[in-house]
Structure 1
Amino acid sequence: MSDQLIPLNIVIGDRTYRIKIRAQDEEAVRNTIKIINDKVIEFKTQFSAKDMQDYIAMVLVWYATEQSQLTKSTLEKQSIIDKLTHLEGMIDRTGT
């Protein structure tokens, strides 16, 4: 796959941004932007804020927290897998 960058116009809140991304990342970027904009709409219906920047800040905190929790969960799962693999190795050595 090529690392050539392609231009993409994205809209976050009420602003348009022109970014450059790898072609293979386009779907993931579009999905992320959809999640962000859906969350902005959700927060606008739930909370009163001064302007769009406030909603985007709320979404940023929510999104970063979600990613942090996913990373923590992944690390915990890997730790469990490592421990089980170690135990399996101990059992295999004592069983022969």
Structure 2
Amino acid sequence: MLPDDTLCLEALAEGRVQGVSYRFATRQQAEAEGLTGYARNLPDGTVEVLLCGPREAVERVADWLERGPEQAEVTQVTTREVTLAELPRDFTTG
């Protein structure tokens, strides 16, 4: 059973988000907030992100995804809450 304030959010970032350190910067933001999950490039040029942890921390990083690192040009971020049987152990990029 997950703690009550735990949120897992799946996000899809669109725009110029590949080749601009978006995944690396997302991992830095997530780890600074103590979150687990992943950030990975998809073949269509988007980046898929999973953020899991305390609701407020997840929401802060989700807000950051809309800006991304300086080199990124994020045009849209679509998010949805997801339910997982167990949380990822760490934050990975792939």
More helix as a share of residues: 1
Q: Determine which structure has greater relative contact order: mean sequence separation of CA pairs < 8 Å that are 6+ residues apart, divided by chain length.
A: 2
Choose 1 or 2 for highest CA Rg: 1
TM norm. shorter chain > 0.5:
no
More strand as a share of residues: 2
* TM-score between both structures, scaled by the size of structure 1: 0.31
